[in-house]
Chain A
Amino acid sequence: MLEAVLFFFIVVAGTAGELSVSRAMKGVGEVHDFRLKSILRFVLQSFRLPWMWVGIALMSVAFFSLLAILSFRQVSFVVPVSALSYAAGAFGAKLFLGERISRNRWIGIAVVCLGVTIVWWTRA
Chain B
Amino acid sequence: MTRTRRLQLKTMPLILISIVLGPLGNVFLGKGMKGVGSVTSARIIDFLPIASRVLTSGYIWLGIVCLMGFFVAHMLLLTWADYSYVQPATSLSYVSIAILSYVVLGEMISPLRWLGVTVICVGVLLVGRTSPSTSEAP
Is chain B's interface secondary structure helix, strand, loop, or mixed overall? helix
Q: Which of A21, A86, A102 contacts B75 (CB 8 A)?
A: A21
A residues 31-57 near B (Cβ < 8 Å) are 31, 34, 39, 42-43, 46
- What is the CA–CA distance of A109 and B23 in the complex, to the nearest angstrom? 20
Q: Does B39 make an interface contact (CB < 8 A)?
A: yes
Number of A-B contacts (CB under 8 A): 190
Q: Which of B84, B113, B129 contacts A101 (CB 8 A)?
A: B84
Q: Does A77 make an interface contact (CB < 8 A)?
A: yes
Q: Does B117 make an interface contact (CB < 8 A)?
A: yes
Q: Which of A75, A83, A89 contacts B83 (CB 8 A)?
A: A89
Give the residues in chain B near A110, CB-CB below 8 Å: 123
Chain B interface residue count, CB cutoff 8 Å, equals 63
Q: How far is the CB of A93 from chain B (nearest CB, A)?
A: 4
Q: Interface residues, chain A, CB within 8 Å of chain B?
A: 2, 18-19, 21-22, 25-26, 28-31, 34, 39, 42-43, 46, 66-68, 70-72, 74-80, 83, 85-86, 89-90, 93-94, 97-102, 104-105, 107-122
